[in-house]
């Protein structure tokens, strides 16, 4: 995630459970046994990560394909 898009998301979203603001944190995402640290937004309290469409359909999809590719 670029810093600017993280900032923009941060200003829009809050945690629906506890109402806390979000913060940038490194979250481990893994696929087929391989994990990678990715900076994304998480709730300050619950730590639940927010995966925006851009990340899911962009980098994550690309890595999924890469790892599945023979």
Q: Which residues of 29-47 are buried (b: 16+ CB within 10 A; e: fewer)?
A: beeeeeeeebebbbbeeee
C-alpha distances out from residue 61 to 7, 15, 19, 28, Å: 22, 25, 30, 16
Least separation, in Å, of the C-beta of 31 and another protein?
4
Site for another protein in 43-62 (CB under 8 A): 43, 46-51, 53, 56-62
35 binds another protein (CB under 8 A): yes
Which residues of the chain form contacts with another protein (CB under 8 A)?
2, 11-17, 19, 22, 25-31, 34-38, 42-43, 46-51, 53, 56-64, 66-70
């Amino acid at each position: 995630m670029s810093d600017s898009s993280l900032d923009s998301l941060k200003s829009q979203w809050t945690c629906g459970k506890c109402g806390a603001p979000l913060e940038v944190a490194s979250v481990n995402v893994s696929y087929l046994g391989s994990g990678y640290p990715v900076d994304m937004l998480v709730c300050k309290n619950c730590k639940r990560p927010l995966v925006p469409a851009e990340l899911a359909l962009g980098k994550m999809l690309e890595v999924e394909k890469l790892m599945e590719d023979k």
